[in-house]
Amino acid sequence: MSQVKNAREQIEFLKSLQVLDKEIHLLSQEKNGFPEKIRAIESSLEAKKKGIKDADADLKALQIKLKENEVSLQQKEEQVKKLQVQLYQLKTNKEYSTMTQEIEGLKADNSLVEEEIIKLMDEVEAVKKKIAEEKEIFKKEEDAAQKEKDVIGGRIREIDARMAQLTAEREKITPNIDKQLLASYEKVLKNRDGVAIVQVEDGACGGCHIGLPPQVVSEAKLKENITTCGSCSRILYVDDDVEIN
Ligand SMILES: [Zn+2]
């Protein structure tokens, strides 16, 4: 309880102020939640982008491996051709059979390389398809994210406009309130989720719901002074038309 002139009138001003401050508090909370929301949207997009980048790197590695195998196949095929020409210039059966074996060995190697090339070509196609699909999905999500960000931007502009109105209305009321009382009201407002003045409800504080001593309830009804809740420090009042037991 603190001493203040015209407590009854001051309480009425505080009640009007509280209506505005409640809305200001809710709007600030809503606005404060947006940066986190935007960060979540952006980090989800970033993760998708990184997935596509990784797939691109996989594709490049596969394409390099494919090229290496193609070069190796070509070299071996040329070697086979060269040996086949030399085959007819050989003098002995032994030389002939050694070179024939060498040619057969190279041909066997080549068919393995050919299998590898086919396998790699399939893999390249599969990764290309996957990248194309992921890019498609990414594009859609990017559009959706942009829409969502536009909606948030629109809401922020609405909130700012409403906040300006509320602040202007607030400035009409505050000069009527005792400076010290206003300061303590604002302190409680800040610490108690935007609610600094509450009605007594069934003998309890309408803010923290803790039971109040009957004397405090009577004082809140009398409004000769400013009565506060011993638990949450909120300013208490009982409307004149409310009966107390
Ligand atoms: Zn309380």
Model confidence at 242, pLDDT cuts 50, 70, 90, reads confident
- Residue 227 Cα to ligand 1 middle (Å): 11
Alpha helices in the chain (DSSP H): 7-87, 93-173, 179-191, 214-222
- Residue 199 Cα to ligand 1 middle (Å): 10
- Residue 177 Cα to ligand 1 middle (Å): 22
Q: How far apart are CA 57 and CA 39, in angstroms?
A: 27
Token code pair at residue 18: 């509280």
pLDDT score recorded for residue 1? 45
3-state secondary structure of 197: strand
The residue behind tokens 């109040």 is 212
- Residue 232 Cα to ligand 1 middle (Å): 4
- Residue 211 Cα to ligand 1 middle (Å): 8
- Residue 226 Cα to ligand 1 middle (Å): 14
3-state secondary structure of 211: strand
**pLDDT tens, residue by residue, 216-230:** 999 999 999 999 999
Q: How far apart are CA 48 and CA 40, in angstroms?
A: 13
Token code pair at residue 144: 């959706």
Which residues are registered as beta bridge partners of 198? 236
Element holding 201 (H helix, E strand): strand 197-201
Domain definitions of the chain by residue range? 27-176, 178-237
Q: How far apart are CA 242 and CA 237, in angstroms?
A: 10
**pLDDT tens, residue by residue, 174-204:** 999 999 999 999 999 999 999 999 999 999 9
User: Which residues neighbour ligand 1 (ion) by CB within 5 Å?
Assistant: 205, 207-208, 229, 231-232
| pTM (two decimals) | 0.78
Architecture, CATH, for domain 27-176:
Orthogonal Bundle (1.10)
- Residue 13 Cα to ligand 1 middle (Å): 20
